[in-house]
Every structure is written in structure tokens, then in C-alpha cells.
Structure 1
Amino acid sequence: AEHPYNHLIDTLKDGRIKFFNPQKLNDPRYDKLPLSIRVLLEAAIRNCDGVYTKEDDVQNLLDWQQQQNEAEVPFSPARVLLQDFTGIPAMVDLAAMRDAVAKHGGDPGLVNPKCPTDLIVDHSLQIDYSKWCVSLKNQEVELIRNKERLQFFKWCSKAFKNVNVVPPDVGAVHQVNLEYLSRAIQVTDGFIYPDSVVGTDSHTTMINGLGILGWGVGGIESEAVMLGQPVSLTLPHVVGCKLVGSINPLTTSIDIVLGITKHLRQAGIAGKFVEFFGPGVSQLSVPDRTTIANMCPEYNATVSFFPVDQVTLKHFKKTSKFGRSDAEKLELLESYMRAVKLFRSYGEPSEDPQYSEINLSSIVPCVSGPKRPQDRVAVSSMKEDFQSCLNEKVTKKMHNNTLQNIYVYCPFGEEPSVQSCKDTRVHLENIALKKNRAVEAGLVVKPYIRTSLAPGSGMVTHYLNTSGVLPYFSQLGFEVSGYGCATCVGNTAPLPDAVVDAIKQGDLVACGVLSGNRHFEGRLCNCVRANYLASPPLVVAYALAGTVGIDFEKEPVGVTSEGKEVYLCDIWPSREEVQQTEEDTVICSIFKDLRGRMEKGNTLWNNIECPDSVLFPWDHKSTYIRSPSFFSKLSKEVPPPPSIENAHVLLFLGNKVLTDHISPAGSIARVSAAAKYLLSKRLTPREFNSYGARRGNDAVMTRGTFASIKLQNRFIGKPGPKTLHIPSGLTLDVFEAADRYQRDGVPLIILAGKDYGSGNSRDWVAKGPYLLGVRAVIAESFEKLHKNQLVGMGIMPLQFLPGDSADSLELSGKERFTITQPDSPSPRQRLTTSQGKSFSVTALFDTEMDVTYFRHGGLLRYVARTLL
């Protein structure tokens, strides 16, 4: 059929390039739309097919002022971004779907991503070696440890169309996305349109700093987009964030992030788009902007969007993003963005909507912690704040820990006891000291500090080398340990056993300081209780000081060999110095070298052999890659609406259950259900690897679901991965209890409080519970992303009515629950218990597609049936 918006087609470059021009609608509402909404509108116009995207969707977007937070609209992004931990389950699912389609007589070759998909192998790097060890050792261990996974990834790159695999040792997914994959515009079949992306990581939002709309989604949603389904979202409210004032010379990007975080948390912007404007935006470099956008999940925004402007164009010119024809494509980029009014000039107040302001002058250097990102502490108050945490036996910030000491003295040579990690993410923020002044002054990192430098990509090493900083980092003990996402994801090697024993025996508080974005207790290292997020320069400063209990304004960082005291202000870089160094070191040749490395790969990756077949030849002995059971009972016909009868409660949970508590992450504990499985496969604990590395094996991941040592299950009364098997009265591992229920044919539900599923996106947050036999979660409220993931796996998200809770309804959790499904979808569901109680809940199905996915038993079965 003829495209309903053919009349909007316009041209550039003498008619050689076409585009859909929303301005030709001659609708005055377009000029009033936030620029992020204009990107959604363009995608809806271009992809309007009458099935997934309809003309009503276009009208709802134009009517944004009245329809925000009301209408559901589809969004078809230009591409999908996967990192290996979340990408491998998606690719394993597609491989299993090929088997299912072939089994029912279909063509398995039809199972391919329809949307261009980039998979970056970046999360499997584990820092086994640190300080004075070269990164090559970590890389060699990574390739040996993860050989099966890497073979599977290589098969994916050959077997599937539209899949590009970026090999290991290139960089972290967000840096690679910024430095190589992003284009601001895409040109396909002669049509130009804005670049956009969804990724299987909550920090995909980093790309919004380049004027590219993107955010993190769950693995299920990413698979839907890969297979041609649009993302469905409630038309978002857009909060304008006006930046005014001049930036303090000592203020870093992380300080700006934490300052903005404070204001936006107070503004209540959960689930909203944030769009930055005002004269202060022009002061922010692209690294500044991407740092701010990277952290927006910490203040619960969906995206933090910086529209394309002159700063963005300058960045693209310096980084040689477009290859040989940079000048021509940059001209095309600017012409297109101006034609559709996606280009911003912050010197034109007439373009500014009326929003609240944030004064950049009010932001001072801060850290965040010791447990939660919202707990900001000014560096000047750090010593006093930490001491107050130590003196209070029970505090909100310290999560009910009895704290007695600040750090551990370690008499074990140069082995560390206090973790000081550095996960470098943004370009020249890495210049943590004024060149060699700290080294010249004789300052050294204390011997009990463990240091690591995990740059976001090899590009950062180029910066550090060219600027002359890297040798001095090395002298301070910050050796490059490898390229990948290591610290935030919990891939730091354990501290020495003697140190761990000393911490446990003395009930001591070991501290971590990191420039990453995750610092919940135990995430960095199991025995490190107090962790602070800080800017990279502050990480080095605290490593030199050897303690977080220091007032940098009044106390010296260290003392020279001549006895002279050196203060932080003596070695701290000015903002102008950092920006000048960026001007001098960020050159086009560096980015051309990166492109060459990505396209050529490395010797170890290139030597990996993989099968050449349409169907993946599963190795039934493999403990890394296994065909999941999602399609084991697939039928061509849609089953009747499922009812849940006489279900037991698997877990009775409280408020703020994080994805960290649900989805397996980090190392595999030796006493866990997953460890028992691996031991049964004749593996030694040394060969367990991490949950992230084994995300392609559903047997391991199901056993690791709800295996967090911090899980608070009301059936048990203390933290731990245990639950009550109600029929027998036995306390068992969560998996063991669920396995008994499934063998007896008993469906399961979960009871929870507020904010169920908060935290970063993880696909096993829904897949794991489904494979455990969970068919519904009843909570007081859900994090929206996780709610969507549950629906995508065929699990009902049911919300207590306002004022109701498990406690108010006097539910013990030991009752059996029956949920009868009506023939037609209904927002209200009626539950009855074996004790004779009856109450209503709200079924959180927001769209028609939600109901469709649920009726099919989840997205994967829906897509498989569509192909058949």
C-alpha cells in the first residue's frame, strides 16, 4: 500500500537523499514539541505501516501536550546495542528459535534480526591481575576462560544477518557506541533519518549526550526490536533542565552529574525524558554531556537528552566518525538537522520552553555513597560524614551494619586490603593529576590500596599516552588492566583470603572508591561494605591519601621526601587544563586507528574457530551455552487464557527489591545451587567463572535467580538466598524449593512491597523467575522496565489497589492463591485464597501488545508463531 505520508518526502543533495519532513505537515504543534519528541515523531511517520505504527500514533505524538502520560506510542529505533552479558541470552534465544521453527517445518533461516544489531564483547574481562601486571595477562585469561562463549558469538556473526560482533579487547559497550557506532544520522535505501538506539544496558543513555536518542531496555524488549517489533512506551513527560551560570574551575563532570542528580531526584522525574537547554549547555563538552546522560538511570529518568548543536558538530569533525567523506557527511548532517528542526542554538532564547533552572555555579565537588547514589557528600564534608556513619550502629545510609573501623592494615607485602578501583568512562576526565606533579613530589599510593585502571576503551589509553599522563599513572600503581566493563559489573577479583578473614574476624569496614556507576554493598567486592562513587581525579586522590577519612581542604594528601606537605589543590587540574589537553590529544588519527582495530580484530579472536551452519550444533556437555526450554512446549495455535490455580508463594518480599537481588550477577558462591550444579559437571570452584559469563546456560542462571546474599525474604527473617517450602516446612535454597513445587505441578507467585524490580535492566530478572515456575508477581508498585520484562516472559504483574498491601490484607504468604483469567482482558483481577479471602488487584497490561504477548506465553513464543 502507498505510504500514508509520502507527501512529506523532501530531498537534499540535489534530490539524491530523501527524508520525511514533519514540517510539511504545516502543523503549528510541531514547533512546540521538545526535540526528543520530534525524534519519536519522525520515526512514527517513517515507519507508519498501519499495523505496528498507525496514523493515530502520529497524531498522538503531535498532540504531545495533551497526550503525555496518557497515550501509548510505538518507537522503532535505528539499531540495537547488546553487550555480551545481556546479549548472549538474546542470541541463544534466537538460535533456539531457529530450532523450534525448523522442528515445526518452517525455514530457520527466516529467524534473523530485522533491526541492525551490534554486540560488543566487553563484560567478560575479569581483573585477575592488577597494579604492576600488564593487561595482556587479563586478556589471555579472558579468552581461555570464555572460549565457548566466544565461539558462539563468532558463529552468530556468520549465521545471522544484521549482526555485527565487536571482539574483546576493544572497549566497553558505551565507549564503543560513542566512539565508533554512533552517527547522529542514518542513511538507508536513499533515506536519511536520525540515529537512535535501544540497548540491553541501563547506561545506553550515555549516547544522548551526542544528540542521539537512546535508552536501556530489557533483554526481552531488545529481542522484540531485533525481530521487527517496535518498543511501546507511554508518551513521556519531558522535563526541561535549564543550565545557567559559570562552572566552578574545580568542578568535574561527575560533580555536575551529582549536582544535577540531586535536583532531578527532588523534582520527581522517574520515567520521564529530561532535555537540557539554556546558556550553560554551551559550556559543556561532549564528554561532560555524555557523563551526565550516562548517569540518568541513577536519578530515574528514561533519557537525558542534549540536542545536536555546534559542540556536537565539532566533536564529530574531530573524531572522524564518518570515514573518508567527513566534510560532505557533516554538511549533510547539519543540513538535515536544520531542515527538520532538530538542531539547537542555545543563543536563541525564543527556542527555549519555560522550565525550571539549575545554576551550575551552585555545584561543588562531591562523592556519592557509601551505599546509595542519591546520598551525596561534599568532599569538604567527607571526613565528618564518614565518621558519623561509623558511630551510628543503625543508619539508613549504612543499611543496618554495625561499623567499627575505617580500613584494615595489611602486613602482606603489597597485597591490598582496601579497594580503590577506577573504571574510566569519559575521555580526558582521566587526567587526574597535573601531569607529573604528584610523582615529582614523591607521592605514592599506600601499599594496602588495591588499584586498577579499566579504561572504557583503547581510545582512552591513546589519550593518556599522548597527553603524557599514563607513565605517571603507572608509577602510582594504576596500570591498564584491560578494556571492558569490569568494576561496575562486579568483575573485580576477590581480595586475598588473609585480608578477607581479617575483615570478617574484626567486623571491619573496608572502603572502596570508584569512578563507575554501581556501588551497592558487596558489588565491588563481597567484603567491602562502604563504597563511594567519585570522579576519576578524586579516585586517585583518595588512593594517595590512603583513607576516605580526610578533609582535603585542611589536610595534606601526602608528604614529600623533604617533609613538605602536599595538598590536593597543588596537584588538582583546572577545567581549562583538561579541556586544552583534550584539544591537543583528541585527533582524527586515533579514531581511524580504532576503526582498524575493530575491523581487523586481534590474533586471539581471529584464531577462534566456529561451526559453519544455519542451526547451532549445541554441545550437551557445555556448561556455558545451552538451548533454553522456552520453546519446549510450543504449539502453532494460541493457547486459551491461562488461569493460575492454588498457587503457592515462593517468596514473600518487602520494599525496594532490586534487580541485583533477583538476577544472577558477580561470582558464583561455592555453597550456592549453581555451584552444586557445576560441581556435578565435574568443575572445580576455580572454573566456576561468573554468572555473567554463564548467562547462556539457563540451568546455571535459573539456579542463580534470587541467589543474592542480600535478599530479604520475610519467610526467613534474615538476609540470604533461602525460602520456606511451605508443604514440608523445610528451609531450602530458592531453586531447590521451586524445583520441588514444579515437580508437584504447583504454580508459584511472589508477594512484594513497593518498587519491585528497581535498578539496572537485566533479562534474567524475568527469565529466571519464569523458569522457576513463577506465573505472577503481586506487588504494591513496580519499576516500569521490569514490569515490561515480566509481561514479555508471560508473567502477570499484578498491583495491589491503592491502600492495599500484603500486611493490610493480613496475608501470611502461606495461603494458596487462585487467579481466574477472564475471556477478555480486564484491568482488574480477582484473587481468592485457600483461607477464604478475596481481593482485587490491577493487572498492569498497558497496551494491546502486552495482552498479546501474555496470551502467547511471552514474546518469544509470539514471534515464533508469527514466523510459522
Structure 2
Amino acid sequence: MRNSLATQDRLHVNGREYAFHSLPKLGERFDIARLPYSLKILLENLLRHEDGGITVGREHIEALAQWDPKAEPDTEIAFMPARVVLQDFTGVPCVVDLAAMRDAVVALGGRPEQINPQIPSELVIDHSVQVDAFARPDALDINGRIEFERNAERYGFLRWGQKAFANFKVVPPSTGIVHQVNLEYLARVVMTREVEGVTWAFPDTVFGTDSHTTMVNGLGVLGWGVGGIEAEAAMLGQPSSMLIPQVVGFRLTGRLPEGTTATDLVLTVTQMLRQHGVVGKFVEFYGDGLQHLPLADRATIGNMAPEYGATCGIFPIDAESLAYLRLSGRSEEQIALVEAYAKAQGLWHAPDSPHAHYSSTLELDMGTVRPSLAGPKRPQDRVLLGDVPANSRAAIAQLTAAREQRGADVADFIAEGGDAAVGNRHLAKGQADAVIDGQSVRLKDGAVVIAAITSCTNTSNPAVMVAAGLLARNAVARGLRRKPWVKTSLAPGSRVVTDYLQKAGLMPALEQLGFDVVGYGCTTCIGNSGPLPVEVSAAIAAGDLCVASVLSGNRNFEGRIHAEVKMNYLASPPLVVAYALAGSTEIDLTREPLGHDRDGAPVYLKDLWPSAREVADTIAATLGPDLYRHNYANVFQGDARWNAIASPDGERYAWNAASTYIKNPPYFEGMTMQPGRIDDIAGARVLGLFGDSITTDHISPAGSIKKDSPAGRYLIARGVQPVDFNSYGSRRGNDDVMVRGTFANIRIKNLMLGGEEGGNTLYFGRDGGREKLAIYDAAMKYKADGVPLVVIAGKEYGTGSSRDWAAKGTNLLGVKAVIAESFERIHRSNLVGMGVLPLRFRDGETAQSLGLYGSETYSITGLADGEAKTATVTATRADGHQTRFEVDVLLLTPKEVEYARHGGLLQYVLRQLAGKAA
């Protein structure tokens, strides 16, 4: 490495010497003190990787050191994270790709061992457990057994990867949620590495294949979610190109008032930042309020960065950071290194620290935060607790408009002499009777049918988890029970949570209300909510009901939580318990009772809500380093089930042609050492015409696989019975399954079909005919015709989780370009990484304003092999009428142009490595 600015220095801690690149030394030349915390970390990264300009040159360092907070980002830099963290849904395809690259590099004249992680890469299996069993003492065991039965082949493959690849470790199932494990154990805050006999110290930075990797920002670790292909490149030692970002400062003052939680705070912050506009920006929190904000609360805010649209939401290292490291069982040596390094580098925050210069700022007095939920279908749509009934009713009115019309039609049928008995059988009224556990009940619109304490967002936070347990204890003492139609579940973020709830004596009350532990993983929040009881499903169908879920997660997009649940509200864990008792979103919990006690007296939420002092005292009496050390002592070893799984040996994976889980993907078929060009596109058809806020949940296959879907038919043809379909997430290692599920979400609306829901489109044949087909089936017919495809969309295309299959599936369907009004950062990057061009409408222009219907034939010209910043699109109707418009070509850096020329990021990396072997 170069040291052109003479910043190398030495740090002595605990009798050991560490080399490091000193920011204060650089500060002798530039005004480094004014830089935000996050940019100082980026700056150190450039100093450490300076190589004379091949990747990092002196000009890049100077550009960042002289950062202008008000300037639009226009300078490209290379960032190399210190490590990569993966979860199994996104991690399995990463390992599949690495295994495929080992075969491909051999075919190009290289060696298998060239494909190997160059930095620590850790995968946590947390996304595969589903809530099949609930509200019973053996739910955890039953769900764990089913999980292993469904995923034995995947887990065997990951065990092979753990043996075959260096620098790759796997945290087995039933340990915890990836982000909580990252926060509680994997995060180093300051890392060390031996290079030619010298021990270097540097900031812990991380890429994660889950967008909520930002949770670790609460600990002062800079990291964010990336697509699997970008993570793979980092694992293989390739830097990530990025533009020097703008940084938004968020000043926190005051402290949370009694009766509010960190969830209420983060929903308020999310709403404010979404309104401010922080897509593609860093957000940095500072101010006097930090001293009143526990680390777990900071992590909750960091976790939600994808929901407020930022690349990251970071807090600096301070005394609270050290207290958390000590609480979570880190060694005193590591804690001393973190403190000494942070202070030596000017990364330490004290209450009287001067704040940095920011691109823009916001401020929140935490004393003004009020109890809130978010929903019914977006995390940024905050709703005050008292306004939930009105919000719910408004959503129901929209969702049931078709039902009301159907009811009017039936009423007309009866009025005009039709058979009343026949008509009434089809007259949906928004209610239905059912018998559940021997009890006759009536379900109505707004019924809460899922109440889930789930997801990393809140289950990492002892304050809200203890509050949920205390509220449950108080409710049980008053004789309250959950409503029989509510499916309840508790999926702690780690085993530490269960231990402190048990130690506090709160688990029995939670279990009495149906919140038995169902697993340690990201369950309901990612759609692994499992089936509803058959009686509940039947009632929903009979009454055409618009029902709700309440969950302590971070995502509530349409179709995500459960196919039968149309409204989904994010809430704190204690509010999840409260809604399980109330059983409806139509009840105002601020004024109406959520139940009645044994004597028939009304019980209000305020009667059950624990005080902040009681929560704090319970945490102090139960939570300590011993719980963390015990649970993480053998974190990579796994239990008997894990160790009993068979896995192959060898440097190259022995692919099984009959497997429906793990398959060698086609990305490298016929690949040569010569890259291609970015050519103009002619004669393209539209695969889908979509509106605003199409998320990766809409695009990427997720949730259950329907037997009559293209993926279901594929599995049945290979002898897989519907009961064994498992989920799309569990089959991410098989491209044949995943491509068939791309754009197949039941809630996606293709405007080519008038906005009807479901993954269908219109296929236009060469003979002039048109046919309604599943999107996959249409794409395959177009591929047989030799016709390229485009997708057209509105604003915020690709928001949501960092699902690389949203880009992989798009590529494999034959889509050459996506034209949208705006893109989410990660998905745009993933499209480029898979060789799909992201093109943006010019300001003020939309598909609607241009009169585009999706039936036209499209050409895209002027791309100039990726050098052009704009291109011309010509849409030609069947009658010959043409519409021409300009679009922005969103290849934002020279490296992205290279990726596109090579057909994708992986092909680029593969050619670089194979070239070195030659």
C-alpha cells in the first residue's frame, strides 16, 4: 500500500503495538475535524487502500478530505469493507455463485482456490424457520424439526461451503437473527489484521446481504445492505465503487416520555427522514439526546435506515458504545482497543463534542414522541395509536370497494326477482362466524389475525421485550386472554432474549397469552408467518374479510406478511401483545378497553402498561455479560440436528442434476475472456408496465409457492408434491424456480392489464395477436422469438430488502433495461451488477404523460457503449405512431460501465481472476 500523505502511525494499547493510518496527521493538511463521523471512516479506508491510482489514488483521498457538504455527489471512490455478513436466504445464492465461479474459472484456465473469500465472511441461518406451530410449549421444537426437514439439502450445501472456503463461517439455525447476532457478537467495532508481520488496527466496516445490516450502525460500525452480487465481489477482494455521499445530520435532544418506546421513536424518525428525502445519503445522529439513548435504541434506529431510505443511519462511538460492548461480553482488551483507537482518530463522541458540518440537518426533541404504529402497508406511514381505528377503516373502505360493488350487484339481482337464497349466499358483508377451539366467534373486517413479536428491529432491544413481558404479566393477572382468532408468536432475536425473559419470570405470562417461542429467526416479518388456522382462513374467505396483522418488524409491504392478510401494522412488542388481547384494529386503545377482567370490569391499556422505572429495574436485575458469553461460547458449532446433516467434500461442489434446491446457475455458460459491448436495443417489448413503489417484494420471489404457478408446475413436473414446496426463499439456490417466480407476487399490478393484481402480462406475437400469460411464460415466448424486453415503472422502483434475485430474475427473464421515474439505491446497483440497464425518465415525464401503454415496440439508441449519459427511447405503436423521449442512463461510475460491458459484476471479477492465472 502507498502512504503518499505520510499518515502511518503507531498506537500502543494493552502492551501491544498497532499500526494505523492517522486521521489527525492528515488533519495537518486538511480540515478533517469538520467531517462527519461516517466520512472519517471512509477516509481512513481510502488511506489504507491507497495503491497509486489503480483503485485508490491520492486524488481520491484529497477529494474526500475536502468534501463540500452542499455539493451534489459527483466524485467516485472505491470502498472496501472489512468483512461481509450474510443471511441464508441471500447467502445461499452467494455460495452457489461462488461454487459456480470455481467451475467457471477452471474452464477459463484458472484454479478453484482463486475463488475464495479474501475477507471474513460470516453467514447466519435465520430466514428459514416458519411459524407452523404456535401457542404451544413444543412450538420451538416442532418448527425446528420441520425447518431441518425442509432445508436439509440447503444446509448440507452450506456445510460444504464452510469446509471448502477459507474465511467463511456459518452460524447454524436456531441461534438468532443475523443482525442481532452481528450486533451482539460478530461486530468488532475496531478490527485488526496481520500484514507482513505488522498488526494493523482499523474501523470495522461491513457489507451485508440484508438491507437491515444498518442495525450495526448503532454501535458505530459503518455498513449497509448490498445485493448478493456486490457482496460476492467484496468477498473476492474487489472494491465497491461509490460516489462520495451527502450526509444528513439528525440532532436528537431530550429523552423519551413515559409510556413511549424506541419503536415509537424510530417510526417518528422514519417518517421525518422520508419526508426530508435521504435516498442515497448517509444519515448521522448527534446531539445531547444521545446520552439518554441506550445502545439498543440506537440500533433500532439504525436498523430502519432502509425504511427511511438512507444508505446508513449511524451513531458515533462513545461511552455508551463501550458500556454495550462490556454488557455483551466482549473482552476488556477489545474494549480498550476500541476506546484508544476511537480517541486517537477523532472518532470519539462526548456530550460536549462539536458537531460536524452536514449537507442538511433535522432536529427532534424526543420528549415530543407519542405512541405510534405504522401501516397499513408502508413503514413510513406512521399512525398515532389513537388514530389506528380511523386509519384502519379508511384502508378497509379502499380494499373492500369491489366487495361493496359485488354486494350491490347481488342486491339488484334479488330486487329484480332473482332467487334470494342464491343471492344471499354470494352477499359478502364483511363478517363471518367460526368455531375456534370449541368457541363460537364472529370475525369482522379489521380483525387482528396475526400478532407477532418478530424481526431484528425490536427483538434486539431489552427495553421493549421486557415491556412486552411485563404487560403480558399484568394482563394475565387481570384474567385477560388473547382473542381465539389471533395467531400469536414470539421469535426472539437471540437466545439471550429468552434467557433474560426467563430470568425475569416473564416467559410464563407470555406463554399463557400464546406468545410461546416459535423459533430464533426472522419469521413473520419476511412472510414466514406460516398458515393461519383453517377455521380462520375459512372465515376470511367466507366473509371476504379485510383482516390485519400487528408485528414488531420493519416491513409491512403488500403481500409480504401473509397472502390472506391485507393490512399490516408495525408496532412495539408491548403493543403487539395488546392487540392480541384486543383482537381488532377497530378498537381505540387510548380510550376503549382491550378486554374485561374476571369480574367483567373493563381493562384499559394504561392499566397494563409498565413504567419506565420498572422496565429499567428488571433489565438491571436480569441482563449481564454472562448471558452473552454463555450463548455465544460455541456459536459456530450447532446442535445435533446441524451436525448430523451430510455434506460433500472437495474444492468444487458436486452438483446434483436432480436437485430442486441447489443448481449450477447459467450466468457463465459460453463465457470467454473477451468482454462485450453495451449495444443499442431494438425491437423490444414491454414485459410489465408498473406504477409507483414497486418493491423488491413485488419483483423477487418470496413467500409460499402456489401449485398453479409456473414455479409450482415446474416442481410438480420434477416429482415435488405441493406439501414439500417450501418457500421461494428456501429455493434461492435454484435459478429455475426463482426465475419462474420473478414478478409473480399476488399483489403486483401490471397496468397493461388495467391494474389487475397478479404476475401476468400481455404477450404480443409476431403475427399481431395478443395473449394474457404469466410473466414467466410470456418472457420465455419472447426469448424463443428472439425479442428483448424492457420493464417500465414509476417512482421508487425496487424499494425494500436488498434482494439480488430481483435483479437476477429480471436478467434471466431477458429484460435488457428498466425505465423508471426513480430507483432505490441497492436495486439500481444490483441491476447494473446483473447487466440490466437502469434508465430514468427525465423530470416531469412519466409513462402516463408520454401516453405509453406497454403495447408498443421499443428501441433505445445512443448508448455509445455506456459512455452516454442520456439515450433516446422510441416507442412505436401498431399503427406506426411513434413517441420519442430522452432518458438518463444510470451507469453512475466508470466501474459500473465496465460491469455492464462484461455482462455483469461477477463476469467482470471472474475475467480479472482468470486473467491473473493466465
TM-score (norm: length of structure 1): 0.95
Superposed CA deviations along residues 251-295 of structure 1, whole A, max 9, x for unmatched, are: 101011112222222222222211111111111111111111111
- 2:378 paired residue among 372, 380, 396: 372
- Aligned equivalents of 1:405 and 1:426: distance in 2? 41
The residue number in structure 1 matching 2:245 is 236
The residue number in structure 1 matching 2:873 is 831
Is the CA contact 1:394–1:401 (under 8 Å) kept in the aligned structure 2? no
Is the CA contact 2:103–2:112 (under 8 Å) kept in the aligned structure 1? yes
Task: Determine helix, strand or coil for the equivalent of 1:542.
Answer: helix
- Structure 1 pair 410/764, CA: closer, same or farther in 2 (3 Å)? same
2:92 is the counterpart of 1:121: no
What is the count of residue pairs matched by the alignment?
Answer: 862
Task: Determine helix, strand or coil for the equivalent of 2:592.
Answer: coil
Task: Determine helix, strand or coil for the equivalent of 1:488.
Answer: helix
- Aligned equivalents of 2:600 and 2:173: distance in 1? 46
Task: Determine helix, strand or coil for the equivalent of 1:243.
Answer: strand
Task: Return the letter of the residue paired with 1:822.
Answer: A
Deviates more, 1:751-760 or 1:788-797: 751-760
Superposed CA deviations along residues 670-705 of structure 1, whole A, max 9, x for unmatched, are: 211000100100111101100000000000000000
2:452 is the counterpart of 1:452: no
- Structure 1 pair 352/103, CA: closer, same or farther in 2 (3 Å)? closer
| Equivalence map 1:308-387=2 (5 Å) | 308-321=317-330, 326-349=331-354, 355-387=361-393
Task: Return the letter of the residue paired with 2:295.
Answer: V
- 2:174 paired residue among 160, 169, 181: 169
- Aligned equivalents of 1:247 and 1:749: distance in 2? 49
Superposed CA deviations along residues 598-649 of structure 1, whole A, max 9, x for unmatched, are: 1331111111121111110000000000000000021111224434222222
2:436 is the counterpart of 1:412: yes
* Deviation of the 1:147 alpha carbon: 0.6
* Deviation of the 1:231 alpha carbon: 2.1
- Structure 1 pair 737/282, CA: closer, same or farther in 2 (3 Å)? same
* Deviation of the 1:349 alpha carbon: 4.9
| Equivalence map 1:133-282=2 (5 Å) | 133-134=137-138, 135-189=140-194, 190-282=199-291
Is the CA contact 1:8–1:22 (under 8 Å) kept in the aligned structure 2? no
- 1:630 paired residue among 664, 667, 673: 667
- Aligned equivalents of 1:404 and 1:207: distance in 2? 48
Superposed CA deviations along residues 467-491 of structure 1, whole A, max 9, x for unmatched, are: 1111111111110001111111101
Deviates more, 1:723-732 or 1:745-754: 745-754
Superposed CA deviations along residues 513-536 of structure 1, whole A, max 9, x for unmatched, are: 111111123322111112111100
Task: Return the letter of the residue paired with 1:90.
Answer: C
Superposed CA deviations along residues 288-317 of structure 1, whole A, max 9, x for unmatched, are: 111111112111121111111111111111
- Structure 1 pair 32/558, CA: closer, same or farther in 2 (3 Å)? same
- Structure 1 pair 414/783, CA: closer, same or farther in 2 (3 Å)? farther
Superposed CA deviations along residues 33-64 of structure 1, whole A, max 9, x for unmatched, are: 01111111111111112222222221121111
* Deviation of the 1:202 alpha carbon: 1.1
- Structure 1 pair 272/576, CA: closer, same or farther in 2 (3 Å)? farther
Superposed CA deviations along residues 432-469 of structure 1, whole A, max 9, x for unmatched, are: 14373222221111222111111111111111111111
- Structure 1 pair 351/390, CA: closer, same or farther in 2 (3 Å)? closer
* Deviation of the 1:833 alpha carbon: 4.5
The residue number in structure 1 matching 2:93 is 89
Task: Determine helix, strand or coil for the equivalent of 1:598.
Answer: coil
Task: Return the letter of the residue paired with 2:825.
Answer: K
| Equivalence map 1:344-743=2 (5 Å) | 344-349=349-354, 355-391=361-397, 409-413=433-437, 418-423=449-454, 425-428=459-462, 429-431=464-466, 432-434=468-470, 436-717=473-754, 718-727=756-765, 728-743=769-784
- Structure 1 pair 351/388, CA: closer, same or farther in 2 (3 Å)? closer
2:113 is the counterpart of 1:72: no
The residue number in structure 1 matching 2:446 is none
Deviates more, 1:506-515 or 1:795-804: 795-804
* Deviation of the 1:7 alpha carbon: 4.2
The residue number in structure 2 matching 1:56 is 59
Deviates more, 1:59-68 or 1:243-252: 59-68
Is the CA contact 2:655–2:663 (under 8 Å) kept in the aligned structure 1? yes
- Aligned equivalents of 2:510 and 2:547: distance in 1? 23
- Aligned equivalents of 2:511 and 2:452: distance in 1? 14
Gaps of 5+ in 2: 409-426, 444-448
2:108 is the counterpart of 1:104: yes
Deviates more, 1:651-660 or 1:662-671: 651-660
- 2:35 paired residue among 11, 33, 36: 33
Is the CA contact 2:559–2:566 (under 8 Å) kept in the aligned structure 1? yes
Is the CA contact 2:169–2:636 (under 8 Å) kept in the aligned structure 1? no
Task: Return the letter of the residue paired with 1:119.
Answer: L
The residue number in structure 2 matching 1:22 is 23
* Deviation of the 1:408 alpha carbon: 5.5
* Deviation of the 1:828 alpha carbon: 1.9
2:766 is the counterpart of 1:757: no
Task: Determine helix, strand or coil for the equivalent of 2:60.
Answer: helix
- Aligned equivalents of 2:645 and 2:557: distance in 1? 36
The residue number in structure 2 matching 1:819 is 860
Is the CA contact 1:701–1:764 (under 8 Å) kept in the aligned structure 2? yes
* Deviation of the 1:710 alpha carbon: 1.4
- Aligned equivalents of 1:276 and 1:2: distance in 2? 33
Is the CA contact 1:419–1:451 (under 8 Å) kept in the aligned structure 2? yes
The residue number in structure 1 matching 2:11 is 11
- Structure 1 pair 271/598, CA: closer, same or farther in 2 (3 Å)? same
- Structure 1 pair 814/665, CA: closer, same or farther in 2 (3 Å)? same
Task: Return the letter of the residue paired with 2:133.
Answer: Y
- Aligned equivalents of 2:763 and 2:394: distance in 1? 41
Is the CA contact 1:414–1:447 (under 8 Å) kept in the aligned structure 2? no
- Aligned equivalents of 1:271 and 1:10: distance in 2? 35
Superposed CA deviations along residues 712-737 of structure 1, whole A, max 9, x for unmatched, are: 11221211111111014111111111
Task: Return the letter of the residue paired with 1:24.
Answer: K
Deviates more, 1:81-90 or 1:217-226: 217-226
Is the CA contact 1:210–1:306 (under 8 Å) kept in the aligned structure 2? yes
Is the CA contact 2:36–2:357 (under 8 Å) kept in the aligned structure 1? no
- Aligned equivalents of 2:578 and 2:100: distance in 1? 50
- Aligned equivalents of 1:65 and 1:668: distance in 2? 49
- Aligned equivalents of 1:508 and 1:284: distance in 2? 41
- Aligned equivalents of 1:779 and 1:335: distance in 2? 48
Task: Determine helix, strand or coil for the equivalent of 2:524.
Answer: coil
- Aligned equivalents of 2:180 and 2:432: distance in 1? 35
- Aligned equivalents of 2:407 and 2:786: distance in 1? 41
* Deviation of the 1:388 alpha carbon: 4.3
Task: Return the letter of the residue paired with 2:800.
Answer: G
Gaps of 5+ in 1: none
Task: Return the letter of the residue paired with 2:192.
Answer: V
The residue number in structure 2 matching 1:45 is 47
- Aligned equivalents of 1:808 and 1:240: distance in 2? 36
- Structure 1 pair 533/812, CA: closer, same or farther in 2 (3 Å)? closer
2:802 is the counterpart of 1:778: no
Is the CA contact 2:386–2:588 (under 8 Å) kept in the aligned structure 1? yes
Task: Determine helix, strand or coil for the equivalent of 1:246.
Answer: coil
- The RMSD of aligned alpha carbons is 2.4
Superposed CA deviations along residues 398-425 of structure 1, whole A, max 9, x for unmatched, are: 9x99998787653131799711112152
Task: Return the letter of the residue paired with 1:79.
Answer: R
- Aligned equivalents of 2:577 and 2:708: distance in 1? 36
Task: Return the letter of the residue paired with 1:103.
Answer: A
* Deviation of the 1:660 alpha carbon: 1.2
- Aligned equivalents of 2:245 and 2:580: distance in 1? 42
